[in-house]
Amino acid sequence: MLYPILDTAHLHGHSLTDCLEAAIDGGADWIQIRHKGAFTGDFVQTLEGCAIRKPDLILNDRADYAALFGLGLHVGQTDLPPAEARAIIGPNARLGFSTHNAAQLEAAQDLPVDYLAIGPIYATQSKLNPDPVVGLKPFVSRHPLVAIGGITLENAGPVLTLGVEKIAVISALWQSPYTLKSFRDNISRWLHQLSSFKASASSTPP
């Protein structure tokens, strides 16, 4: 139920490879790499190593490198359109697409994607110019939904009642002193708590 996003600009001094290892050790299955910087030779080499370690990684934005290393891909409203992205990465790679309001969510229902992200659910500090807050409202989609934006362990419970299957988290997985051990332990804690939230919600009478 947890979808950690490894933003290379916010790894608190740790390498992408070490953070990926910590996320895997913590129990995460879906993991996204978000890299807004240049795809230098060194970064591409690191990305290749990550792909070998976990071939079902999801890369943000770059369909070319996702196809090169057999990764999944996540694109946004201003990135390569999902149909074009699908043609590049192939029919079997996981493809996600960001939506930020009810109109975008409805328009995305017939796109060739495997999941849709919806958010920001709450106010977020992870983007310089975030979209307006979506809020806690039920969502209807033929594609699995991933909630994102300002979600913490303290406010995650209500999000799971909205019809989402996963919660994407960036900064809330890191806590001072920002060690790899605390990052790994936070992922395990999130997975345990989300499972408890889900079980509690499913056992509550309507």
Position 197 scores a pLDDT of 87
Position 127 scores a pLDDT of 67
Taking a C-beta distance cutoff of 8 angstroms, is the pair 78, 61 a contact? Answer: no
Position 202 scores a pLDDT of 66
Domain range list for the chain: 2-203
> Digits of tens for pLDDT over the chain (206 positions)?
999 999 999 999 999 999 999 999 999 999 999 999 999 999 999 999 999 999 889 999 999 999 999 999 999 999 999 999 999 999 999 999 999 999 999 999 999 999 999 999 999 876 667 789 999 989 999 999 999 999 999 999 999 999 999 999 999 999 999 999 999 999 999 999 999 988 876 665 55
Sequence-distant (6+) residues with CB within 8 A of 14 are: 178, 180, 183
pTM equals: 0.94
| CATH architecture for residues 2-203 | Alpha-Beta Barrel (3.20)
Distances (CA, A) of 103 to 81, 98, 183: 16, 12, 35
